[in-house]
Amino acid sequence: MAFAFPESFRFADSHEYANADGELVRVGISAFAVDQLGDIVFVDLPDVGASLSKGDSFGSVESVKAVEDMYAPIDGEVVQRNEAVLASPEELQNDPHGEGWLLVIRPGNASQMESLLDAAAYSAKVNAS
């Protein structure tokens, strides 16, 4: 199965995405990661106000197959979390790049976005496997 990814998104090797939206960045996990996980039953996210450091775990997603940590694609402060996904984890499966977003963060260093893979590079990586 080939996956398509929004052109404006940037991706970490660990399958999280970062999508700049003005001064803020929306963070989630890619459709590829969601597909690999299978049926998602639980999502754990940090509280609003939490500080994230690039590469550090910020929560986990649990499926019938496994529990996987999620890693911050960039430094930042959590300004919003998706309560709908916490209440209904299947929202993440239905629309991971849209309504299934996880966090909105205020970046600590917006230039870190440049170190992430663009959609074409990420697509080439996951569609080759």
Task: Give pTM, 2 decimals.
Answer: 0.95
Number of H helices, E strands in the chain: 4, 10
Nearest by Cα to 53 from 105, 120, 124 = 105
Q: 3-58: per-residue pLDDT in tens?
A: 889 999 999 999 999 999 999 999 999 999 999 999 999 999 999 999 999 999 99
- Gyration radius from the chain CA atoms: 13
Domains and CATH numbers, the chain: 10-128 (2.40.50.100)
When the pLDDT of each residue in the chain is averaged and rounded to a whole number, the result is: 95
Tokens of 123: 């697509």
The identity of residue 66, as a single letter, is A
Tokens of 9: 């998104």
